[in-house]
Amino acid sequence: MLQHFNLRNVLFASMLVAGLSSCSDDEERPIDPSPGPELRTKIDYAKITPTTPYKSLFVDTKGDTTVDLTSGNARYKMFQALNYYLGSAVRDSTQVTAAVMKNMYANTGNPFTDISTSTINIKGADLNASGVQLRDVTASSKTAAEADAARAHLETSFAALEAASKSVKVPAAKGVAGKLGTYLVDSKGIEHGQIIQKGLIGALQMDYIGNVLLDKGLDVDNISLVSGKKYTALEHNWDEAYGLLTLNPVYLAGATDAARTSNESFIGSYIWEYNKASYAKIHPAFVKGRAAIVNMDNAEVKTQATFIRTEMEKAIASAALGYLGKWKSGTTDAARAHAIGEGLGFIYSLRYCKINGADAAFSDALLLGLMGSPNGFWDLTNDKINAASDAITAKFKL
């Protein structure tokens, strides 16, 4: 359904831009200039290698780890579980419901169950009892109005996927929802499973990691321990960011340009696929930034945070371009519909790329240009794709 890209979205975009005008989130802010007593033994940066496990260097005077990835990893697994459920419409040729998706998104009503596959290992009871959720950190760097709009966008997409799933056994065509190849699309050829997944990459991972934990989240206490914990608030914010990026002790361990050998999903996967110049530098940046927090080296913390945020933004923008290109090179309607589904999700996520100055108005204009016609995907042309590609290329200097 096209309601995400219609005039209502344009109105939303206007509201969001108005909200943004009161913010200047990337202004320089000190982390905490107070020297305070040294809480940790300083870490020699020379000890950090591309394969240093994230937790290995960070212990207290008793030798206990100061790293706690629990909340970040829990949200990562919630994203996995939600995504696994979205896929069940096609995987099991069955109807999915928006109510289940909303409960998983907000972690209400014990929605998570055990999942065990070759790539996912989830204990549902652990997530249900985790005390965290995806919804409350969605678009959380934004104004309240923008965050509400982002959550509404996702929940509307849940309903659109539910509606499309009712036709999962019907062949899709212009004006007819159903299966197009192996993909489930609505009557306008939009694959809502991709809209949700890629939208959360931006609204959850890009925004919460980049614009909250590694930006505003650097302005917290690094002098004293959080009550009852072995870490400071700043240490924990950094750990939460890493835990939401990956479940692995070494992010992208063993990856080469030709092969990604570790199991990574969501933005962690697309950084490798669409940022070949820098994917291998992300893990050392996370470890060095964490070491800089221990060393009270605020300038280095900021340097590593800005590097990570910049490279994440580059990956999202490059992925958007990549999928627009795949629409052009696709040889079947199914291939083109899947490509534009992924592309639309990444274009939506561009609004969270603050370092490059992208916002809701920018991404909504692109979405409207691509899909703002009666038949959506079925009306796409090379000119529409080229216009969107040119705008992204110029904005992100790619």
pLDDT of residue 109: 98
What six digits make up the tokens of 271? 């950084």
Distant-in-sequence, close-in-space partners of 247: CB < 8 Å, separation ≥ 6: 73, 76, 77, 263
Of the candidates 130, 154, 135, the one whose C-alpha atom is nearest the C-alpha of residue 12 is 154
What six digits make up the tokens of 234? 């700043």
- Inter-residue contact 79 to 266 (CB < 8 Å): yes
What six digits make up the tokens of 350? 């561009």
The partner residues of 215 in beta bridges, in order of sequence, read none
- On the question of pLDDT at 34 being above 90, the answer is no
Of the candidates 48, 27, 29, 37, the one whose C-alpha atom is nearest the C-alpha of residue 292 is 48
Q: What angle do CA 44, 46, 52 make, to 5 degrees?
A: 95
The pLDDT tens digits of the residues spanning 85-134 come to 999 999 999 999 999 999 999 999 999 999 999 999 999 999 999 999 99
**Other Cβ atoms closer than 10 A to 83:** 17
Question: How many whole angstroms from its chain centre is CA 206?
Answer: 5
3-class DSSP string for the chain: CHHHHCHHHHHHHHHHHHHHCCCCCCCCCCCCCCCCCCCCCCCCHHHCCCCCCCCCCCECCCCCECCCCHHHHHHHHHHHHHHHHHHHHHHCCCCCCHHHHHHHHHCCCCCCCCEECCCCEECHHHHHCCCCCCHHHCCCCCCHHHHHHHHHHHHHHHHHHHHHHCCCCCECECCECEEECCEEECCCCCCHHHHHHHHHHHHHHHHHHHHHHCCHHHCCCCCCECCCCCCEHHHHHHHHHHHHHCCCCCCCCCCCCCCCCCCCCCHHHHHHHHCCCCHHHHHHHHHHHHHHHHCCCHHHHHHHHHHHHHHHHHHHHHHHHHHHHHHHHCCCHHHHHHHHHHHHHHHHHHHHCCCCCCCHHHHHHHHHHHHCCCCHHHHCCHHHHHHHHHHHHHHHCC
The partner residues of 184 in beta bridges, in order of sequence, read 179
Q: Average the pLDDT over each of 35-49, 107-121, 190-204, 281-295 and give the range with the smallest value.
A: 35-49
User: How would residue 39 be classed by pLDDT, with cut points 50, 70 and 90?
Assistant: confident
pLDDT of residue 208: 98
- On the question of pLDDT at 387 being above 60, the answer is yes
How far CA 170 is from CA of 98, 178, 186, 271, 374, in Å, comes to 20, 5, 11, 35, 21
Q: What is the average per-residue pLDDT within 223-244?
A: 97
Looking at every residue in the chain, the average pLDDT score rounds to 92
pLDDT of residue 395: 98
Rounded CA separation 48/284 (Å): 7
Largest Cα separation within the chain, whole Å, is: 67
Give residue for tokens 């321990």. 225
The pLDDT tens digits of the residues spanning 273-303 come to 999 999 999 999 999 999 999 999 999 999 9
The pLDDT tens digits of the residues spanning 354-375 come to 999 999 999 999 999 999 999 9
The pLDDT tens digits of the residues spanning 151-165 come to 999 999 999 999 999
User: How would residue 38 be classed by pLDDT, with cut points 50, 70 and 90?
Assistant: low
Phi, psi at 222, each rounded to 5°: -130, 20
Rounded CA separation 391/376 (Å): 20
Of the candidates 302, 270, 309, the one whose C-alpha atom is nearest the C-alpha of residue 288 is 302
